[in-house]
Amino acid sequence: MNKPKVVFEERDFLVIDKPTGMVVNRADTVAAGITVQDWVETKNQKHQISSKSQDPSLKAFFDRSGIVHRLDKETSGLLLIAKNPQAFYNLQSQFKERKVEKKYLALVHGKIAPEEGEIKAPVGRLPWNRERFGVFPGGREAVTKYKLLSVFSIARSVSGQPVKPITEYSLLEVIPQTGRTHQIRVHLKYAGHPVVGDLFYAGRKTAREDRKFCPRLFLHAIFLRITHPTKGTILEFKSALPKDLQSVLDRLPDYFN
C-alpha cells in the first residue's frame, strides 16, 4: 500500500494526500493494515502519549491523533491533521461552522441535469444495515452542491457502426456543505447518478461492471480551503487527480469499443 504524501506541513498542522485503500482512523471493525492514524503516530511520536494522562478536554485530540476529518477508505485526496490540541479544536470548529471549503472530483453514471445544482436530503445510518447510510426522514440535514465538468457519451459499436444503447458518464466537481458519513456517495445515488465503482451504493451488478474499467471508487478530494488556526490567514491546498483515475478518463471511450 502506498503511504500518504505530505502536501504541506508547519508547526500547527499538516495536509496529506491520502492514497486509496487506506483507512483513516483505527477501529475494532478495521482489519489488518496500517491506518492514517498509525502513520501519524509513527511520524510524530508525541501523538503516542496516552490520553489517560491528559486533561479530559483534550481526549478527542489524542484519541484521533489530531486527525480533523475523515475520508472513506477508497476515497483519495486531501486530509487535514492537527499537530497540537489548539489547532485541532480550532480546525474542528471551522468544519462544524461550515467555514471550510472542500471539493471533490467524482465520475458518476448518467448525464446529470441541471449542469449545476444542489442535493438537499437528510442522511443517516440505515437501521437494518449499520454499515450503510441512506436518505430517510430520520437522518441529519445534508447538503451537497455539484457542477458538471464534462460528459462522456459512449456508443458500443459493431463493425465500426455505433449502436444503442449509449452509455453516459458525468465528471463532477462536488462541494459538500455538510459532513455526513458517505454523504457524497449517498446523495449522488439518491439523485440517480451513483459514483462509478461504488460497491456500497451503485448496486452490486453495476459496481462489478464498473470495476472492469475502473479499479476503485472514482472519488478524489481535490481542494481544501481553511483559515490558519493561529494566524487567521486563508490557506488553499490542491491535489491532482491520481494516475489510476486519470487513466480511467483517458481510456473510457476505448473500453466500450
Q: Catalytic amino acids?
A: 72
Please give the Cα distance from 139 to 112 (Å, whole number).
25
d(CA 41, CA 48): 6
Q: What is the residue-wise DSSP string for 163-206?
A: EEEEEEEEEEEEEESS--TTHHHHHHHHTT-PBTT-TTTS-HHH
Strands (E), the chain: 5-9, 13-18, 76-82, 101-109, 116-120, 123-126, 129-135, 143-158, 161-176, 219-227, 234-238
Q: How far apart are CA 113 and CA 253, in angstroms?
A: 21
C-alpha cell at 64: 484521533
CA distances from 16 to 34, 39, 76, 175, 227 (A): 15, 11, 10, 19, 17
Tell which residue, 223, 222, 139, 214, has the closest CA to residue 182. 139
* DSSP H or E run through 89: helix 85-96
